Amino acid sequence: MSVDHPSESVSTVRTVPAVFGSKKVVPDSAWEWDFAAHLKQTHTTLELVALYSRYRDEEGPFESQLRRVIFRAMCRTAGHALQIGPGVVVKHPETMELGDAVFIGAQSMIQGRFDGTCRIGNHVWIGPQSYFDARNLVLEDYVGWGPGAKVLGSSHTGHPIDVPIIATELSIKPVVIGYGADIGTNATILPGVHVGAHSMVGAGAVVNLDVPEYAVAAGVPARVIRHRKT
């Protein structure tokens, strides 16, 4: 039986350069843009969604490229260097605007609405298995979205009280995640919340109030625990 040396079992913290956030945007090929424009002109949104579903779960480089082309055709606008992981589900993509260098992780879902607005800025990283109620949603540039984090942009009013809650009217409130903010793994952002620029939301937090710029918020419900500038 061998015994590890104590020094070998001690974990070492490493600091390495950021990759995604510092990466320069490489323009996509002209044929991709031409093909996406052609698909948009010749197919309805429902037809594009059906076409996208054929390649949604594939992981090969060719299928990933086709998924990007079709996703761009489905959306109102989508920039260069878009990355769509396998299994990403999207509803009402025609209401969505994506900037350059957007990454959407595997098995995420973006739930839009036919008369809604969803804007995702440049250099936004969205972790796997995330969920977005994107009826009135803005993610500004350089937002980091942890795996499994969720945003809810709507809720039922619950009135009148003698009607099943799920049958009552839906109240849609805008959600804004500010420039450079970071949302932790499995956090939940509730309707009407504005997360300020350069702020941080802790893993598993439930955010029901606005978060100021440069603040760090954590807990259930989330509260500001410190300010990054102090």
Q: What pLDDT is stored for residue 99 in this prediction?
A: 97
Q: What angle do CA 93, 99, 104 make, to 5 degrees?
A: 65
Within a domain: 9: no
Out of 80, 159, 194, 227, pick the active-site residue. Answer: 159
Catalytic: 38? no
52: closest CA among 26, 82, 38, 72? 72
Q: What pLDDT is stored for residue 3 in this prediction?
A: 45
Q: What pLDDT is stored for residue 102 in this prediction?
A: 98
Within a domain: 111: yes
**CATH number, domain at 107?**
2.160.10.10
Within a domain: 46: no
Within a domain: 20: no
Within a domain: 117: yes
Angle at which helix 30-42 crosses helix 61-74, to 10 degrees, equals 50
Within a domain: 55: no
Q: How does pLDDT run along the chain (230 residues), one tens digit per residue?
A: 444 555 545 578 999 888 888 888 999 999 999 999 999 999 999 999 999 999 999 988 999 999 999 999 999 999 999 999 999 999 999 999 999 999 999 999 999 999 999 999 999 999 999 999 999 999 999 999 999 999 999 999 999 999 999 999 999 999 999 999 999 999 999 999 999 999 999 999 999 999 999 999 999 999 999 999 98
Domains: count for the chain:
1
Query: What range defines the domain where residue 130 resides?
Result: 78-227
Are residues 69 and 35 in contact, defined by beta-carbon separation less than 8 angstroms?
Answer: yes
Q: What pLDDT is stored for residue 19 in this prediction?
A: 86
Within a domain: 1: no
Within a domain: 15: no
